[in-house]
Chains A and B, each alone.
Chain A
Amino acid sequence: MKRTHRRRWQAAAIMTVAALAVAACSSSSTSSSSPGSGSTSSSAALTASAPGITATTITVGSHQPLTGPAAPGYSEIAPAANAYFSYVNANGGVFGRKIVYKYLDDGYDPTKTASVVHELVLQNNVYAIFNGLGTPTHLAAVSFLNAQKVPDVFVASGCECWNDPSKYPQTFGWQLDYVREGKILGNYVKQHFAGKKVAYFYQNDEFGLDGVKGLDMEIPSSSVVSRQSYVPTNTNIAPAVTAMHAAGAQVVVAFSIPAFTALLKLNSLKLGYSPTLVVSSVGSDPITLGGLVTAYAKQGGATVNGNQLINGIITDAYLPALSTSDSWYVLFKKIHDQYEPKAPLDGNFFYGMSVGYTFVQAMLKAGKNPTRADLVTAIQGGMPQGPAVAPYSYSSSDHAGITGAYMGVIQNGVVVQQGSVLVTDTSASGAITTYSGTEQQAPASGIPSP
């Protein structure tokens, strides 16, 4: 018996060594298998201006929900950005350097996010983390990145928490944050549906809650008759819709992802309930939405197509409409067809391209041999307006990003702009003003000028 025990624990100890040795081996193999990093880790200090930057490459990393419940929709963003980078690389790159975009799957699980971000920074020596997706996920990485002084740029989440230069000097938001978006939508509802009964339908997380926060800044609480939240993992939203129906809401403002905007439509259909729908840009992408509701439409009695079911949905947008008349759409479609033809050219893809474009802008502004600090300084110095319809707010005291959007109505699968671009801030008192500037045209070369 005792002998057995001794042997067991000796065995355990020996095996531990063996196992950790295995870990060590797999370390070497992983780093060599990740493009660029193998050389950087050894030679970065000698020739390149910063970790992740060599004479020939800029390696940036990201965490994305490529698998798991959050993958639908979001998993196309990184490939889209990557497609834009490939286009830039093929056309001279950034000061001759090619961008190596290494995005890893975190399955929308914060623990995994922490793991992959540590791997990207500590092992693959990325220059920056770019467009890390998701609020709870990125929150698991943000303090580590700032502690490591790694630029954490253009987070793919509309949380206003990224705009905190004193706490997170390395971190920059990009997209229109949900509070601003809520204010702009709320403002529209206040103006156009005064006296009507309003209901909120929102995802029960930071996205929905911040959105509602913005709405409440504009819409008088007296006119809000029902507030229904949903959980993305539970697709039975019949109770929520029934409640809004019963409350007699004539206008439903939705901070929902496309699938749940579609389910909202489905459940209204079942109740013979047809309120005016006001949907945040996240959940109103006509391409995605049209595709999702087509199935109902097919069997919906009449032989309508999906677009007719979503016609008249009121929404906002901070990126140009996906119409052939828009220079950005023309550019991005060209790149899409060349580098990622299989992916659907929808709002998410457009988003990925646009944020990729912004990153190239920032890298060009950061200079020929940028340090990590140079990138942060460059962005804080203010960024020229890109594909987005509204200007960026970037300054040393503001890391938010896009500041405004225009209202629009979905007609035949396209968001048709209503009125001019509106800009605002995240404070309850902050006014919503018309933006006088004009939308930028895409450069002929498709690459921003330094």
Chain B
Amino acid sequence: MTMQTLPRRLGAAAVTAVIVWFLSVRLDTFRDFQIAQVAVYVTAVAGLTVLTGLSGQISLGNGAFMAIGAYATALLLLHLNWPFIAALVASAVVTAVAGGIVGVAAARLRGPYLAGATLMLGVALPALAFAYQGVFGADQGLNVTFTAPAFLGATFPLTRWQAWVSTVVALVTLVLLANLCFSRIGRNWRAVRDDEVAAALDGVNVAVTRILAFVVSAVCAGLAGSLLAIVTSLVAPGAFTITLSIALLTAAVIGGLGSLPGALWGSLLIVLVPTYVTDVATSHGLSSSVGSNIPIAAYGAILILVMLVFPQGIQGGLVWLLRLFTGPDQKTRIARDAPAPHVTPPADEAPASQHEKEGTA
């Protein structure tokens, strides 16, 4: 089935690519920059939504993988003058290794223990940039020079080129992830997420499956970090604080956990909402301490509201709307894509599993 649907996904990707190309040419160069940013986040968030949504492992430290990818790219461009594409691939490999290591450690951990470990990873890793200033340049980080190819002409806006490159990488990543999710591996992820014991009895190697999920999400984060390096032209620890890791998880859940389109909605939210609210706030002549904090408060409030109004995230909400027109067959995939809610049984009506079985038998 994967083989048959692959062309469709490629088609969809191509369509999206054309749309982005059209927008990037039509809209002003700042929008190009925002497209590039969205593409960067989509790449990272898609990886995380697979890790957390499908394999059921939470990570509050994927910003660290972005940092690894970004520094790898910066060092390769800086010292070895590699072409970006080569550096991109190399960064993916490096982060894959890092993801493997973390995955092995993570494979035994659950829920908040995994969250705590990954959170600390996200806090600790940037500190290394200070500990080894010679290599990583402390807080000043490493400068990355990235220019549009000559054949596009001298006047070609760099931001548009950044938007194109990032979008292509993001789309390729999404297509590959989509195939992965609906391949045997993806099914194993869901099986492990829903019931490890049952999965193991079905002959799924639980540990390997979970580690693989970490590797995949790490690679995505690494690619995103690599893109971020060329989009911001600087790789510095200040860009990879825990705030970033939390923003990634937030985007994944808000967008709709386990859903790739959801990754897009989440990324659009974290890129556009702050800019938009800031402009509104500042344009109303509020004192700067008030005006600058309104976007923060608003962002927090939005997170809470979306979670209470759309338990399945934005994608869940959209699919629910879609179902009003296209019949119930969409329901199944929300059920499939959403993580199993049984991890935290609600304190009130919490049927022990055997009761549930009898109830639904």
Contacts and interface: CB of A to CB of B under 8 A. Distances in A.
When A and B assemble into the complex, do they touch directly, with CB atoms less than 8 Å apart?
Answer: yes
Interface of A: 1-13, 15-17, 19-20, 22-24, 26-27, 29-30, 33-35, 66-67, 75, 78-79, 82, 102-105, 107-111, 114-115, 118-119, 122-123, 135-137, 139-140, 143-144, 147, 159, 161, 204-206, 209, 231, 342
B260 A12 contact: yes
From B34, B232, B264, B278, name the one whose CB has the most chain A CB atoms within 10 angstroms.
B232
Given A5-B8, A23-B34, A66 B141 contact: no
A115 B37 contact: yes
Contact of A114 (B12, B232, B241, B280): B232
B314 to A, nearest CB: 10
Main secondary structure of the interface of B (DSSP, over half): helix
A8 B333 contact: yes
B279 A79 contact: no
Contact of B289 (A10, A20, A30, A75): A75
A105 B292 contact: yes
**Interchain residue pairs A-B with the least CB separation, the first 4:** A66-B292, A9-B12, A122-B30, A33-B283
A449 to B, nearest CB: 30
Given A12-B12, A79-B288, 12 more contacts: A2-B5, A4-B330, A6-B8, A13-B12, A27-B31, A29-B276, A108-B238, A109-B238, A136-B238, A159-B140, A205-B139, A231-B130
Contact of A139 (B37, B133, B143): B143
B322 A136 contact: no
Given A8-B261, A122-B33, A209-B138, A109 B239 contact: yes
Contacts of A342: 287
Contacts of B139: 135-136, 204-206
A33 B12 contact: no
Contact of B16 (A13, A27, A136): A13
A136 B234 CA distance: 9
Contact of B288 (A1, A66, A139, A143): A66
Interface residues of B, number: 74
B30 A114 contact: no
A115 B133 CA distance: 26
Given A140-B236, A231-B130, A23 B143 contact: no
Nearest to A6: B8
A276 to B, nearest CB: 28
From B27, B280, B292, name the one whose CB has the most chain A CB atoms within 10 angstroms.
B292
A120 B156 CA distance: 20
Contacts of A16: 16, 19-20, 264
Contact of B234 (A104, A139, A159): A139
Contact of B318 (A11, A34, A115): A11
B72 interface: no
B195 interface: no
Nearest to B2: A5
Contact of A24 (B27, B228, B322): B27
A79 to B, nearest CB: 5
Contacts of A23: 23, 27, 31, 34-35, 268, 272
B127 interface: yes
Contact of B275 (A1, A4, A119, A147): A119
B272 A110 contact: no
B8 A26 contact: no
A34 B16 CA distance: 31
B215 interface: no
From A9, A102, A137, A144, name the one whose CB has the most chain B CB atoms within 10 angstroms.
A9
